[in-house]
Structure 1
Amino acid sequence: MINIMFDHPDFVVIDKPTGVSVHKDDQAVSFVAKLQQQLNEPQLFLVHRLDKITSGLLILAKKTTANGLLSSTFQQRKIEKYYIALTDKRPSKKQGLVKGDMVRSRRGTWKLQRSAENPAISHFFSYGCEKGLRLFLIKPYTGKTHQIRVALKSLGSPIIGDKRYYPTPDETIDRGYLHAFALQFYYQDQLIQLHCMPNTGRLFTLESIQQQLSQLSKPWLLNWPKV
Structure 2
Amino acid sequence: MLKVISDEADFIVAVKPAGLSFHSEQGAGFVALLEAQQAYKLYPVHRLDKVTSGLIVLAKSSQAAASLTELFSNRLVDKFYLAITEGKPKKKQGWIKGDMSASRRGTYKLEKTSNNPAVTRFYSTSLGEGLRGVILKPFSGKTHQLRVAMKSISSPILGDTAYTSSPSDRVYLHAFALSFQWQRQDKYFSYLPESGKEFNKLVTTDAFQQWKAPLNLDW
Instruction: Specify the SS of the correspondent of 1:5.
Output: strand
1:219 aligns with 214
Gaps of 5+ in 2: none
Q: Which residue of 1 aligns with 2:30?
A: 31
Identity rate, percent: 45
Amino acid at match of 1:35: L
Deviation at 1:167, TM superposition (A): 4.7
Counterpart of 2:87 in structure 1 is 89
Deviation at 1:209, TM superposition (A): 3.7
Q: In the TM superposition, what are the counterparts of 1:140-219 in structure 2 within 5 Å?
A: 140-168=138-166, 170=167, 173-206=168-201, 208-211=202-205, 212-219=207-214
Provide the C-alpha distance between the structure 2 equivalents of 1:130 and 1:118, rounded to a whole number of angstroms. Answer: 36
- The worse-fitting range, judged by mean Cα deviation, of 123-132 and 10-19 is 123-132
Alignment: residue pair count: 218
Q: 1:16-165 to 2 correspondence within 5 Å? A: 16-27=16-27, 29-41=28-40, 43-165=41-163
8 Å Cα contact 2:54-2:175 kept in structure 1:
yes
CA distance in 2, matches of 1:183, 1:128: 25
List structure 1 runs of 4+ shifted beyond 6 angstroms: none
Cα deviation 1:185-219 (Å, max 9, x = unaligned): 0111111111110010111123x543343432210
Q: What residue identity is the alignment partner of 1:19? A: G
Structure 1 residues 30-62: Cα deviation after superposition (integer angstroms, max 9, x where no partner)? 321210111121x11111010011001111111
1:12 partner amino acid: I
3-state DSSP of counterpart to 1:129: strand
Aligned partner of residue 203 in structure 1, secondary structure: helix
* Residue identity matched to 2:151: K
Q: Which runs of 5+ in 1 are unaligned?
A: none
TM-score, reference length from structure 2: 0.95
Structure-2 separation of matches of 1:195 and 1:10 = 18
Distance 1:196 1:214 in 2: 14
